[in-house]
Structure 1
Amino acid sequence: MPITNTASDTSSLVHAAIDVHEPGQTPGKVGALLTTIEFQLNPKEVTIAKSAKWESKNQKKAASAPPATYQGPDPQKMSVEMYFDETRQRDGSVVKNVEALFEACTPTSASKDGNKPSAPWVKFKWGVLTGFVGYIKSVSAKYTLFSPDGKPLRAVCTVALEELANEPKKQNPTSGGLQPRHAHTLREGDSLAAIAYREYGDPSHWRTLAEVNGIDDPLRLRPGHIVLIPTLEELSQTDGRETVRREVVRARLH
């Protein structure tokens, strides 16, 4: 017995799409929707990759590989192909679709007006894969069919997307004491970069953590040592960092 598509089968088909948004004001939260670039044909494959940074320090006398220190995760990456076909349209062309993807790699007008140029943030939507929030890192377009007058009628676009960080862990409000700011007791294998990513969502803050805690060599952390974790507001202010430094010194004296 032949298999045919029923009305319910057709209604269950979900087309993949990329929503293009203004950059958000907070990590992981997009701004206003600018446009939606729909897939004419759902992709055959979607490649998703995730990796982490590890750092090892060579030791001349070591008999085996040196221990590695976790530096935090790299952004998740996604790669997908988009197919465009306008052969059924009388004066069709796929250039508009391709240019929409290219445009998503350039700063939005609103971000330029606000003196913070940024390309749009995007959301990939397709079934259970919905929820990827990031930006388009690169677009490669290959035109595969042209009309007699040279209009591109078919194109295959390879789109590479990269994840944006989610909302970092919220800090306790400051009140001038050691405990409300949150303190971390170092364990074997800890690194300042990993702590910075866990607390702020950004491993690059390890330098400020080292500075305010008086840590001269971040690669030689002592288990049991207490690291004071400033708030994000204090990290961005010279006075805030100086206040934390004084508290670290006072805590060690006692």
Structure 2
Amino acid sequence: MGLKYLKMTPYSDGSFMNPTAGINPYTVMINPKSIKWNRKITYSNKQPLDSSTSSQKYRSTPSIELNFDIIIDCTGVVDRSRLDMIKEIKDLETVVYTYQGKIHRPNYVRIQWGQGQIFDSVLKTFNTEYTLFKPNGDPLRAKVSLSFGEYIAPKKAKKKEKKTSPDITHLVDVEEGENLPQLSNKIWDTPYYYVQVAQYNDLNKFRNLRGGLELIFPPIIKPE
């Protein structure tokens, strides 16, 4: 069976191998009514020099975002063991928001809900709206709006992006102001293969390339 309530577990490393010591996961009191996944792709709208229209050149695929609201209810109707709003907010902040000195950043967060639904992430926004109060002004109920961005450890991301493999041919459209070392670094994660690219494309310069130029980045031979 899947998890009955959504749970957020703090981790001290981006590989999600080590839960943060001394901090308990935060389990929501009431499951979200809905969750929203945001995906997008960004393009460059730069106009090639020899064209009257702009082209949609792929630039990047930003990380997936997960958004949801949770209700914290300290009236005693939902859970009579959780009546302290200040503690509830602090416990949630400690898991997802508070700066952790040992890792020099807030925690990485694994979100679990339902069978097989796991989202490894970092917090992007944390907004709190208090909606019910005691006569003395102490809050009894709050709506917390959370937004998380997917987190993939750099080593894992490189394995996932097969485009960086040096034994694959790449066709590259040059934008104004780009140079070969920059493009080599973009394609292969190192600027040092630009000489092979220049030789393959019969270029006598590698800086200030003409915008709109189309270059072939050939399979390269790594030095032993």
Tell me the TM-score normalised to structure 1 length: 0.62
2:143 alignment counterpart: 156
2:89 alignment counterpart: 98
1:1-33 deviation digits (Å, cap 9, x = unpaired): xxxxxxxxxx88721111122133xxx434324
Distance 2:116 2:213 in 1: 40
Tell me the percent identity: 18
Deviation of 1:128 (Å):
4.7
Gaps of 5+ in 2: 176-182, 195-205
Distance 2:157 2:174 in 1: 19
Q: RMSD value over aligned CA atoms?
A: 3.6
> Is residue 87 from structure 1 mapped to residue 75 from structure 2 by the alignment?
yes
- Find the residue that maps to 1:184 and give its secondary structure: coil
- Find the residue that maps to 1:44 and give its secondary structure: coil
Contact 2:6 2:28 in 1 (8 A): yes
**Higher alpha-carbon deviation: 85-94 or 137-146:** 85-94
Equivalent of residue 38 in structure 2, options 44, 49, 52: 49
Gaps of 5+ in 1: 1-10, 112-116, 172-180, 192-202, 231-243, 248-254
- Find the residue that maps to 2:30 and give its secondary structure: coil
**Higher alpha-carbon deviation: 65-74 or 136-145:** 65-74
- Find the residue that maps to 1:35 and give its secondary structure: coil
Deviation of 1:158 (Å):
0.2
Write the letter of the residue equivalent to 1:16. Answer: L
1:16-55 deviation digits (Å, cap 9, x = unpaired): 111122133xxx4343243211111111110110112222
1:195-216 deviation digits (Å, cap 9, x = unpaired): xxxxxxxx9x518747312254
Distance 2:216 2:82 in 1: 71
After superposition, where does 1:7-86 map in structure 2 within 5 Å? 14-24=4-14, 28-33=15-20, 34-59=23-48, 62-63=51-52, 65-86=53-74
Equivalent of residue 100 in structure 2, options 65, 89, 108: 108
Change beyond 3 A, Cα 1:13–1:222: closer
1:200 alignment counterpart: none
Change beyond 3 A, Cα 1:30–1:164: farther
Write the letter of the residue equivalent to 1:81. Answer: D
Count of residue correspondences = 192
1:122 alignment counterpart: 109
> Is residue 206 from structure 1 mapped to residue 186 from structure 2 by the alignment?
yes
Distance 1:229 1:108 in 2: 43
Deviation of 1:131 (Å):
1.8
Contact 2:50 2:212 in 1 (8 A): no
Write the letter of the residue equivalent to 1:123. Answer: R
Tell me the TM-score normalised to structure 2 length: 0.69
Write the letter of the residue equivalent to 1:40. Answer: M
Contact 1:55 1:70 in 2 (8 A): yes
